[in-house]
Structure 1
Amino acid sequence: MNTLSLYVQRNGEVISADSRSLISKRYCTVTSAMNREFWNITSDRQNSIYVGSYGRGTAIDTSDIDILMSLPESYYNQFNSVYGNGQSRLLQAVRQAILVPYPRSEVRADGQVVKINFSDGMFFEILPAFRNWDGSYRYPDTNMGGNWRSTNPKAEQDAMKNKNISSNGLLFDTCKHLRYVRDNYFRSYHLSGIVIDSFVYQAIGNWRWLSSGESSTSAAGTYERILLDCYNQHFMWGAMPLSAPGSNQQVSTDNSRDCLGKVLRYIAD
């Protein structure tokens, strides 16, 4: 039997102001180092954006802060023309730039990103990328000999922000709550942030938090059961097709489907 505390809470799971301040400080340090190396400027804000869960506004902790760093097109031409995994060499160049301000931190290239492991448990993942004419980005993938992939985080962030406004904050609160349940009750299972956000964005429909003075005719837990019903209807016969909000890029649910079901059943039962 569920308790009220396991239902979605308004303005729940908020990252502290102190943590956000530290994230911002490190973000500026990384951005400045990258701009010095690749753009020959000293700005600690230009050419970088938060991406991932933190960028979409749905993160609940500081274990994984993603930053996209836009680089000059000349570097794409340089590393794309290299024989034998130029993507890996690009990540190594990024790693060397980050080691300048953080020589004592663990900094390593991993697949598509350069990871920074800070001593206090905070992790940054730096994604070097090249801007396309339509606002999307190309980024390196060192796997399978090296290739380039595409992402459009700004479109995703805008779509999430607009839906969150129209739902009076319910979208972000739901995404954060599912992360909270995942992290506290199903930690041994895998459930990615983009699967959570894409599913809730699709399943939320017209549900929203009530405005001041409004009253609801729905019983407590109705919304959570609606989310579970949506999951059951789409996953009963196999994989649920999910696309990222705004960018409409396909989101793989292969490794996250089971845990998503467990989380939704936990908050709805």
Structure 2
Amino acid sequence: MSLKDDFQTFISNLEPNNMDEMETTVGEMAKKLNSYYYNLTGDKTSHMYIVGSVGRGTSIKGASDLDIIFDLPSSKYKQYDEYESNGQSALLQEVKTVLKTRYTNTDISGDGQVVVIKFKKYTVELVPGFKQCDDSFKYPDTNDGGCWKITKPLAEIDESKNTIDDTDYNFKYIANMLRSWKNKQGFKIGGLLIDTLTYNFLNSNTEYRNIEFDNYLDMTKELFNYLKGLNKEQSYWYALGSNQKVYNCDNGKFITKAKKAYKKIENLTKESLSVNKKLREVFGAQFPKKTTLVEERNFYSNTEEFIEDMFQIDIKYDLNIDCKVTQDGFRPTLLSIILENTMFLKPKKRLEFFIDNIDDNINGSYDIYWKVKNEGEVAKERNCIRGQIKKHNTDKIYESTDFKGEHYVECYIVQNNICVARDRIDVPISNYEYIMA
């Protein structure tokens, strides 16, 4: 297939596969809440709004969050606004109690600004709100004693859907690609910020608004060139449609990641032998692999596994891994420092890979998986490419540098059968004596 076809297949691979199930769940919740708050029997649609990435039409396969707003009667606002202390918290608890009568065996909690309902394959975050005359919603915030805030998701949904139509779906496709990139590279960035940056990119580079798939390589390079040029210190961007502030909550980490992505693909052409390989390194295994005649007749066992084939991928948390390199007679050195200085490892060194930092926001239990992948001709000659993904449930694994190649190690955090954090560190090994003792 041509690269044009590969991009089209990539986009197809990102299509959500659980929309019907999610819509059924939303209907059941609406039915319960409409019965309780409006005395409506069997009504599965009134007063319920699907918002977030699903509502804007930009979610992808594996997304594990479904954001919804239920419009409550204004009398409920008056009731809880008159509370002496944190009526917002009391409101969340009431909605939680109502839903608990429908989902008796489901984990339901109410805190902050949402009621959280945890199903096996996804989590619903329901905001109890009060629709205003301008189509915004007033909603409760239980923090700092409680207050009411305003959100404008319907304006964002309208602008998103209009832009999808105006760009022949390119807005949706690019937003999907950035979500796949986020999941492959393992960093946090909100869906609304992704959509806003995509929107801004297309408004700044109008030549890409109505392109076909045969122009997607050039567009992708320009997309990362645009993202890497943004200011890491910028506090917020204005959301599409609503002009509400979307905050830069992870110190602009996505900009650093965009610089690396751009460097990886900037010199690629449609005829480059490595174009699919490099695009898979950026976007993940959902991008088609280009099989060569050599690979078809390979003399080694392809034992590599991909986390995308094992679990849903929805990166929500930060994870950083590093490695302590030791050898008799030498002082231990961190692999991250070696890589910063563009140096290589020599064989026969001991390696201790470890989790250096994990997001404090991860609540509850989770499993830790590790992957060790050997690359290069020596790995193939020895029939030792490895690449299996194994559950260790430890924050350390031990390896050694045995032979030359551009090897790497990845770590994954899996919670409720969803990969919510990941990181990778390269392990370049050289046989040459003049490179790093």
TM range (shorter): 0.7 to 0.9
Structure 2 CA distance for aligned equivalents of residues 166 and 132 of structure 1: 28
Is 2:254 aligned against 1:254? no
The change in CA–CA distance for 1:235 and 1:7 in structure 2 (over 3 A counts) is farther
Q: Which residue of 2 aligns with 1:28?
A: 27
Structure 2 CA distance for aligned equivalents of residues 32 and 231 of structure 1: 43
After superposition, give the CA deviation of every residue in 1:78-112 in whole Å (9 maximum; x if it has no partner). Answer: 11110111110000011011111100000001311
Q: TM-score, normalised by structure 2?
A: 0.55
Tell me by how many angstroms 1:263 deviates.
4.8
Q: How many residues align?
A: 256
Q: Which residue of 2 aligns with 1:161?
A: 161
Q: Which residue of 1 aligns with 2:226?
A: 230
Q: Which residue of 1 aligns with 2:307?
A: none
Give 4+ residue runs of structure 1 displaced > 3 Å after superposition: 3-12
Tell me by how many angstroms 1:224 deviates.
2.0
Asked whether the equivalents of residues 80 and 86 of structure 1 are also in contact (C-alpha less than 8 Å), the reply is yes
Within 5 Å, which residues of 2 pair with 1:240-251?
241-251=236-246
Asked whether the equivalents of residues 139 and 150 of structure 2 are also in contact (C-alpha less than 8 Å), the reply is yes
Q: Which residue of 2 aligns with 1:182?
A: 182
The change in CA–CA distance for 1:225 and 1:210 in structure 2 (over 3 A counts) is closer
Asked whether the equivalents of residues 191 and 260 of structure 1 are also in contact (C-alpha less than 8 Å), the reply is no
Q: Which residue of 2 aligns with 1:94?
A: 95
Asked whether the equivalents of residues 228 and 258 of structure 2 are also in contact (C-alpha less than 8 Å), the reply is no
Tell me by how many angstroms 1:242 deviates.
1.1
The change in CA–CA distance for 1:261 and 1:169 in structure 2 (over 3 A counts) is farther
Structure 2 CA distance for aligned equivalents of residues 8 and 201 of structure 1: 23
Q: Which residue identity lines up with residue 81 of structure 1 in the other structure?
A: E
Tell me by how many angstroms 1:203 deviates.
1.1
Q: Which residue of 1 aligns with 2:53?
A: 53
Q: Which residue identity lines up with residue 141 of structure 1 in the other structure?
A: D
Structure 2 CA distance for aligned equivalents of residues 203 and 249 of structure 1: 18
The change in CA–CA distance for 1:260 and 1:29 in structure 2 (over 3 A counts) is farther
SS in 1 for 2:115: strand
Q: Which residue of 2 aligns with 1:195?
A: 193
Q: Which residue of 2 aligns with 1:73?
A: 74
Structure 2 CA distance for aligned equivalents of residues 33 and 141 of structure 1: 23
Q: Which residue identity lines up with residue 70 of structure 1 in the other structure?
A: D
Structure 1 CA distance for aligned equivalents of residues 241 and 11 of structure 2: 24
Structure 1 CA distance for aligned equivalents of residues 126 and 160 of structure 2: 22
Within 5 Å, which residues of 2 pair with 1:10-159?
10-16=11-17, 19-42=18-41, 43-60=43-60, 61-118=62-119, 120-159=120-159
- Percentage identity across aligned positions? 28
- Tell me which moved more, 57-66 or 258-267: 258-267
Tell me by how many angstroms 1:228 deviates.
2.5
Tell me by how many angstroms 1:176 deviates.
1.2
Asked whether the equivalents of residues 51 and 67 of structure 1 are also in contact (C-alpha less than 8 Å), the reply is yes
Structure 1 CA distance for aligned equivalents of residues 79 and 94 of structure 2: 12
Asked whether the equivalents of residues 191 and 256 of structure 1 are also in contact (C-alpha less than 8 Å), the reply is no
Asked whether the equivalents of residues 86 and 146 of structure 1 are also in contact (C-alpha less than 8 Å), the reply is yes
SS in 2 for 1:235: coil
Asked whether the equivalents of residues 140 and 147 of structure 1 are also in contact (C-alpha less than 8 Å), the reply is yes
Structure 1 CA distance for aligned equivalents of residues 259 and 133 of structure 2: 39
Tell me by how many angstroms 1:72 deviates.
0.7
Asked whether the equivalents of residues 29 and 44 of structure 1 are also in contact (C-alpha less than 8 Å), the reply is yes
Tell me by how many angstroms 1:124 deviates.
0.6
Alignment gaps of 5+ in structure 1: none
Asked whether the equivalents of residues 137 and 151 of structure 1 are also in contact (C-alpha less than 8 Å), the reply is yes
Q: Which residue identity lines up with residue 252 of structure 1 in the other structure?
A: Y
Tell me by how many angstroms 1:260 deviates.
5.0
The change in CA–CA distance for 1:12 and 1:242 in structure 2 (over 3 A counts) is farther
Tell me by how many angstroms 1:230 deviates.
2.5
SS in 1 for 2:230: helix
More helix by share: 1
Q: Which residue identity lines up with residue 80 of structure 1 in the other structure?
A: D
- Tell me which moved more, 158-167 or 255-264: 255-264
Alignment gaps of 5+ in structure 2: 266-437
SS in 1 for 2:127: strand
What value does the CA root-mean-square deviation take over the aligned residues? 2.4
Q: Which residue identity lines up with residue 174 of structure 1 in the other structure?
A: I
Structure 1 CA distance for aligned equivalents of residues 242 and 147 of structure 2: 20
Structure 1 CA distance for aligned equivalents of residues 154 and 259 of structure 2: 28
Q: Which residue identity lines up with residue 246 of structure 2 in the other structure?
A: V
Structure 1 CA distance for aligned equivalents of residues 143 and 104 of structure 2: 26
SS in 2 for 1:116: strand
Which of 1 and 2 has higher RCO (CA within 8 Å, sep 6+)? Answer: 1
Q: Which residue identity lines up with residue 124 of structure 1 in the other structure?
A: V
